[in-house]
Amino acid sequence: ACASFSSAIERLKAEYIDSGQVRLVFFDLPLRQHANAIPAAEAARCAEDQDAWWGMHKALFENQSDWSGADNPDEIFLGYAQSQGLDTRRFERCMNGDIHRDEIEESRNLARDLRITSTPTVLVDNIPLTRTNWAQLSAVVDRELSQEAEGAAQ
């Protein structure tokens, strides 16, 4: 479900985020049934340390079937980092050091406190989407932006 929704996130970035109209706040919710969810979250955060979150995010979701059941996903993630031109020694140190483990756990705890139990869960101005697809996402974003513009004009 997350992999299929990732294309909507890419489109959101291109149409709204890059222009500064909206801001994306992404929380990790590594589900326990996905053995490599925590290493994947760490890979994204380690890439973010080198300003490459978007590229790693895209690689993770486009290639999810390659790493999701792997015995050692770190080698696969290192390959993604290398293909994106990251400093691989820095990336590897980050992955091996569990530098972001506490942040990931805090994110998971916040989701639990908010009673979020599945992914992807998408909120636009605290409005939960009932379907995680581009049509609903863009419609809610457009509505909220127009309401914000009307409020600012008054």
pTM: 0.78
Report residue 3's pLDDT band, with 50, 70 and 90 as the boundaries.
low
93-104 pLDDT, tens digit each? 999 998 999 999
Q: What pLDDT is stored for residue 44 in this prediction? A: 95
pLDDT of residue 120: 77
φ, ψ at 127 (rounded to 5°): -100, 115
pLDDT, one tens digit per residue, over 25-57 is 778 888 888 889 999 999 999 999 999 998 998
pLDDT for residue 107 is more than 70 = yes
Residue 2 pLDDT level (bands cut at 50, 70, 90): low
Q: How high is the pLDDT of residue 125? A: 80
Q: Which of 43, 48, 102, 35 is nearest to 78 (CA)?
A: 43
The pLDDT value recorded for residue 112 is 84
pLDDT at 134 over 70: yes
Region of residue 131 (left: phi > 0; alpha: psi -120 to 50; beta: else): beta
Cα 51 to Cα 31: distance, rounded to the nearest angstrom:
25
pLDDT in tens, 55-102: 998 899 889 889 988 999 999 999 999 999 999 999 999 999 989 999
